[in-house]
Amino acid sequence: MKRYILAILLVLFSSQLWAEEQKFEGLQLATAPINEFDMDAVKRGAKFFATNCMSCHTLTYLRYDKVAKDAGIVTDKKPISINGVTPPDLSLEADVRGVDWIYTYLHSFYKDPATASGVNNLIFPGTAMPAIVAPFQGEQVLVEKPMHDLLNQVQWYDLVKPVKQGSMTPEEFDKAVADVVTFLAYAAEPYHAEQERLGYWVLGFLVILFVMMYLLKKEYWKDVKKTRQ
């Protein structure tokens, strides 16, 4: 029993861990509004990635994939270095950080003259990634007094405010980020949709097998019971 309690505590605690290191108290991850089986979104996200992210980030572990290839994504690029930091490979990013984290990260850059790139990030303080999204999202700065709710929680958009408009409306930007996150979720598990489909077949098969086994057992025991009498 003790072990179970310990395990439950560990799980609860580990999900809190990232929040512990936060500079911004009570900052919550936004829920990424994505459907990872939406292949149109995956394709749009792959295009966006090929144009805006691939100059820095590699996707080395992406298995051969027609969707990614059609979007112009290559997997044999050599990593580069930005101010001494190598942009991490993003093939498994959706598994490592989670889709909500990436979605929030891409939304929460703000101007910070103290950094080498001139921007900083709410959930990744001191990030070496430059202001890649600013041309689309616009520029944002920290608000002076963020509004916390009753539980002392804040969302990224409570902490920053726009100061310069980008080429996209907020809705267009949300959608573009959701698409690229959908693509990264797909890239981390390209067979997920297929696995899910197969899963139902397997479950269906097991149900049928169970019924047949049960009938068979009844049939066998009928004779056994008879001989015992």
Compute the least distance from the CB of residue 54 to ligand HEC, in Å: 8
127 makes contact with ligand HEC (CB under 6 A): yes
Q: Do the Cβ atoms of 130 and 117 come closer than 8 Å?
A: yes
Least Å distance, CB 6 to ligand HEC, is 29
How far is the C-alpha of 14 from the C-alpha of 18, rounded, in Å? 8
For residue 109, what is the enclosing H or E element? strand 109-111
Pick the closer one to ligand HEC by CB: 115 or 143. 115
Smallest gap, in angstroms, from Cβ of residue 117 to ligand HEC?
Answer: 9
Choose between 35 and 55: whose C-beta lies nearer to ligand HEC: 55
DSSP-derived secondary structure letter, 116: S
136 C-beta neighbours (distance < 10 Å), count: 17
Binding mask 193-222 for ligand HEC (x = CB under 6 A): ------------------------------
Among 19, 67, 92, 128, binds ligand HEC (CB under 6 A): 128
Q: To the nearest whole angstrom, how small is the minimum distance from the Cβ of residue 14 to ligand HEC?
A: 17
- Report the distance separating Cα 133 and Cα 43, nearest Å: 19
Using CB under 6 A as the binding rule, the residues of this chain from 46 to 75 that contact ligand HEC are 52-53, 55-57
88 binds ligand HEC (CB under 6 A): yes
Closer residue to ligand HEC in complex, CB, 111/146: 111
Give the total of residues touching ligand HEC (CB under 6 A): 21
Q: What is the CA radius of gyration of the chain?
A: 24
Contact 90, 186 (CB under 8 A): no
Asked if 66 and 35 touch (Cβ cutoff 8 Å), the reply is no
Specify the residue, 125 or 199, whose C-beta has the smaller distance to ligand HEC.
125
In angstroms, the CA 94 to CA 45 distance is: 13
Q: Is 174 in the site for ligand HEC (CB under 6 A)?
A: no
Nearer to ligand HEC, 129 or 185 (CB): 129
- Buried b / exposed e along 64-77 (16+ C-beta atoms within 10 A): ebebbeebebebee
- What is the C-alpha separation between 215 and 30, in angstroms, rounded? 51
- 134 binding ligand HEC? (CB under 6 A): no
Beta strands 160-165 and 138-142, pairing class: antiparallel
Binding residues for ligand HEC, rule: CB under 6 A, are 52-53, 55-57, 82, 85, 87-88, 90, 93, 97, 102, 105-106, 127-130, 132, 180
